[in-house]
Chain A
Amino acid sequence: MRPIGADQKTAAQAGGVSSDEGTRPMVLELRKVTCAYEVGRAAISEVSFSVREGEILCLLGPSGCGKTTTLRVIAGFEPVVEGEVYLEGHLASAPGVLLPTERRRVGMVFQEYALFPHLRVVENIAFGLRDLPSVQRETQVHAMLAMTGLTGLERRYPHELSGGQQQRVALARALVQKPVVLLLDEPFSNLDPDMTRKMREDLHDLLRRTKTTAILVTHDHEEAFALADRVAVLNNGCLEQFDTPEAIYHTPSTPFVADFVGQADFIPGIVENGKVVTEIGEFPNQVGYHGGARVVVMIRPDDVHIAPLANGATRILARQFRGSENLYTIGLPSGQVVHSSEVSTSVYPVGTPVELQVIATHIVLFEQDRVRPPDR
Chain B
Amino acid sequence: MTTTIRQTVPPSISFLALGVAGLICAPLMYIVYLALSADSAVWSRLWNTRIPELLFNTVSLAVSVSAGTFALGVSLAWLVVRYSFPGRQVWEWALVLPLAMPTYVLAYVYTYLLGAGGPVEQLWQTWTGPEGRVFSPYSYAGATLVMTLDTFPFVYLLTRAALLNFNLSYEEVARVCGASRQRTMLKVTLPLIRPAIVAGLSLVILYVASDFGAVSLLRFQTFTYAVYQQITGRYDQAAAGVLSLLLVLFALIFLVTERWFRERSRFYQTTGRYRAPARKPCGPLGTGLITLYMVVVFGLAFGLPALLLIHWSGSAVAEGAVDARFLGFVWNSVFLSGLAATFALLVGSPLAYLASRWPSRLNVLCLQAAYAGYVLPGPVGALALLVLFSHLAPFWYGTAVVLIVAYIVHFLPAGLQTMEPALQQVTPNLEEAARSLGLGPVRTFRETTLPLVRGGFIAAWVLMFLLSMKELPATLLLRPVGFDTLAVRVWLEASEEYYKLAAPSALLIVIMTLPALLLLVSKDWRAA
Residues from chain A with a CB closer than 8 A to the CB of B179 are: 102, 127-128
Taking the closest CB of chain B, its distance from the CB of A341, in whole angstroms, is 37
CB of B393 within 8 Å of the partner chain? no
List, in ascending order, chain A residues with CB within 8 A of B176's CB: 75, 101-102, 106-108, 128, 174
Q: A128-B177, A157-B267 are in contact. Are A116 and B172 (CB under 8 A)?
A: no
Contact with A along B167-210 (1 / 0, CB 8 A): 10110111111111000000110011000000000000000000
Residue A49 lies at the interface, judged by CB distance under 8 Å to chain B: no
Known pairs A101-B172, A102-B179; A117 contacts B272 (CB<8 A): no
Number of interface residues of A (CB under 8 A): 27
Q: A102-B178, A127-B177 are in contact. Are A118 and B191 (CB under 8 A)?
A: yes
A88 contacts across to B, CB distance below 8 A: none
Q: When each residue 148-182 of chain B gets 1 if its CB lies under 8 Å from chain A and 0 otherwise, what string results?
A: 00000000000000000001011011111111100
In the complex, A24 has a CB within 8 A of chain B: no
Q: Between A and B, how many residue pairs show CB distances below 8 Å?
A: 67
Contacts of A111 in B (CB 8 A): 273
CB-defined contacts of A114 to chain B, threshold 8 Å: 167, 169-170, 172-173, 272
**A177-B177 contact, Cβ under 8 Å, with A108-B172, A110-B172, A118-B191:** yes
Contact B175 A110 (CB under 8 A): no
Is there an interface contact between A177 and B191, defined as CB atoms closer than 8 Å? Answer: no
B270 within 8 Å of A by Cβ? Answer: yes
CA distance in complex: A108, B169 (Å): 10
Please classify how large the interface on chain B is, using the bins under 10, 10 to 19, 20 to 34, 35 or more. 20 to 34
CB distance from B527 to the nearest CB of A (A): 21
Contact (A173, B272) CB under 8 Å given A108-B172, A114-B170:
no
Query: Does A77 reach chain B (CB closer than 8 Å)?
Result: yes
CB of A128 within 8 A of CB of B178, answer: yes
The reply to whether the CB of B232 lies closer than 8 angstroms to some CB of chain A is no
A177 to B175, CA, bound (A): 13
Q: Is A112 an interface residue (CB 8 A)?
A: yes
Q: Assess whether B269 is interfacial by the CB under 8 Å rule.
A: yes
Query: At the interface, yes or no: B268 with Cβ under 8 Å from chain A?
Result: yes
Query: Is A110 a contact partner of B169 (Cβ separation < 8 A)?
Result: yes
**Interface mask (A101-139 → B, CB under 8 Å = 1, otherwise 0):** 111011110111010111000000001100100000000
**Complex Cα gap A36–B524 (Å):** 31
Cβ-defined partner of B273 (8 Å) among A112, A118, A127: A112
Complexed CA–CA distance, A173 and B174 (Å): 10
Q: Which of B172, B178, B191, B270 contacts A75 (CB 8 A)?
A: B172
Which residues of B have CB within 8 Å of A118? 191-192, 265, 268
**Contact B273 A159, beta carbon cutoff 8 Å:** no
Q: Which chain A residues border B172 with CB–CB below 8 Å? A: 75, 77, 101, 108, 110, 114
* A157: B residues at CB distance < 8 A: 267
Asked whether, in the complex, the Cβ of B267 is within 8 Å of the Cβ of A116, the reply is no
Cβ 8 A contact of B178, one of A110, A112, A117, A177: A177
Minimum C-beta distance from A209 to chain B (A): 22
Instruction: Give the Cβ gap from A327 to chain B, nearest Cβ, in Å.
Output: 34
Report the Cα distance A75→B175, complex, angstroms.
Answer: 9
Which chain B residue lies CB-closest to A179?
B176
With A127-B174, A128-B179, A173-B177: A117-B169 Cβ-Cβ less than 8 Å: no
Alpha-carbon separation in the docked complex, A76 to B181 (Å): 14
Q: Which of the listed residues B172, B176, B269, B272 has the most CB atoms from chain A within 10 Å of its own CB?
A: B176
Establish whether residues A102 and B272, one from each chain, have CB atoms under 8 Å apart when the complex forms: no
Q: How far is the CB of A132 from chain B (nearest CB, A)?
A: 11
Nearest CB in chain B: distance from A65 CB, A: 17
Across the interface, do B267 and A112 meet the contact criterion of CB distance under 8 Å? no
* CB-defined contacts of B268 to chain A, threshold 8 Å: 117-118
Contact B173 A117 (CB under 8 A): no
* Minimum C-beta distance from A125 to chain B (A): 10
Given contacts A118-B192, A159-B267, whether A112 and B272 have CB atoms under 8 Å apart is yes
Question: How long is the Cα–Cα vector from A250 to B94 in the complex, in angstroms?
Answer: 62
Which residues from B are CB-within-8-Å of A75? 172, 176
The distance from the CB of B261 to the nearest CB of chain A, in whole angstroms, is: 13
Residue of B175, B188, B270 with most chain A CB atoms under a 10 A cut-off: B175
Pick from A108, A174, A177 the residue with the most CB of B within 10 Å. A108
A128 to chain B, nearest CB (A): 3
B273 and A117 contact, CB distance less than 8 A: no
A361 → chain B, closest Cβ, in Å?
A: 42
List, in ascending order, chain B residues with CB within 8 A of A131's CB.
178
Interface string of B24-56 (1 = CB under 8 A from A): 000000000000000000000000000000000
Those of B261-288 within 8 Å (CB) of chain A: 265, 267-270, 272-273
Minimum CB–CB distance for A121 against chain B, Å? 14
Binary per-residue interface labels of chain A (70-114) against chain B in the complex, 1 for a CB within 8 Å, 0 otherwise: 000001110000000000000000000000111101111011101
- Judging by beta carbons under 8 Å apart, are A117 and B177 in contact? no
* A172-229 interface with B by 8 A CB criterion: 173-174, 177
Residues of A within 8 A of B175 (CB): 76-77, 100-102
Least Cβ–Cβ distance between B19 and chain A, in angstroms: 42
User: Are the CB atoms of B170 and A116 closer together than 8 Å?
Assistant: yes
Determine the residue in chain B with the shortest Cβ distance to A110.
Answer: B169
Q: Beyond A114-B167, A159-B267, is A102–B180 a contact (Cβ under 8 Å)?
A: yes
**A170 smallest CB distance to B (angstroms):** 8
Residue of B with least CB distance to A173: B177
Smallest distance from the beta carbon of A337 to chain B beta carbons, Å?
A: 38
Q: Which residues on A sit within 8 Å (CB–CB) of B177? A: 102, 127-128, 173, 177
Q: Which of B174, B187, B192 is within 8 Å of A117, CB to CB?
A: B192
Tell me which residues across on chain B come within 8 A of A76, comparing CB atoms: 175
Report whether B269 and A108 are in contact in the complex, using a CB–CB cutoff of 8 Å.
no
**Considering the chains assembled together, what is the distance between the CA atoms of A100 and B177 in angstroms?**
12
Give Cα A255 to B130, complex, Å.
89
Q: Which chain A positions have C-beta within 8 A of B178?
A: 102-103, 105, 128, 131, 177
Q: Which residues of A contact B272 (CB under 8 A)?
A: 112, 114
Q: Given the complex, which residues of B lie within 8 Å of A108, measured CB to CB?
A: 172-173, 176
Shortest distance from the beta carbon of A183 to any chain B beta carbon, whole Å: 8
B270 near A117: Cβ-Cβ < 8 Å: yes
In the complex, how many angstroms separate the beta carbon of A77 from the nearest chain B beta carbon?
Answer: 6
With a 10 A CB-CB cut-off, give which of A75, A77, A108, A127 has the most chain B CB atoms: A127
Closest to A118 in B: B191
Question: Which single residue of chain B is at the shortest CB-CB distance from A37?
Answer: B276
In the bound complex, CA of A293 to CA of B402 (Å) = 95
Q: Which residue of B has the minimal Cβ distance to A72? A: B172
Interface pairs (25), CB distance under 8 Å = A76-B175, A102-B175, A102-B179, A102-B180, A106-B176, A107-B176, A108-B173, A111-B273, A112-B273, A114-B167, A114-B169, A114-B172, A114-B173, A117-B267, A117-B270, A118-B191, A118-B265, A118-B268, A127-B174, A127-B187, A128-B177, A128-B179, A157-B267, A159-B267, A173-B177
Q: Give the interface of A toward B (CB within 8 A).
A: 75-77, 100-103, 105-108, 110-112, 114, 116-118, 127-128, 131, 157-159, 173-174, 177
Besides the known contacts A157-B267, A158-B267, 13 further A-B residue pairs in the complex with CB atoms under 8 A apart: A75-B176, A77-B172, A101-B175, A101-B176, A102-B175, A106-B176, A108-B172, A110-B172, A116-B173, A117-B268, A127-B177, A128-B177, A173-B173
In the complex, the 3 A-B pairs of residues with the closest C-beta atoms, listed nearest first: A128-B177, A114-B169, A101-B175
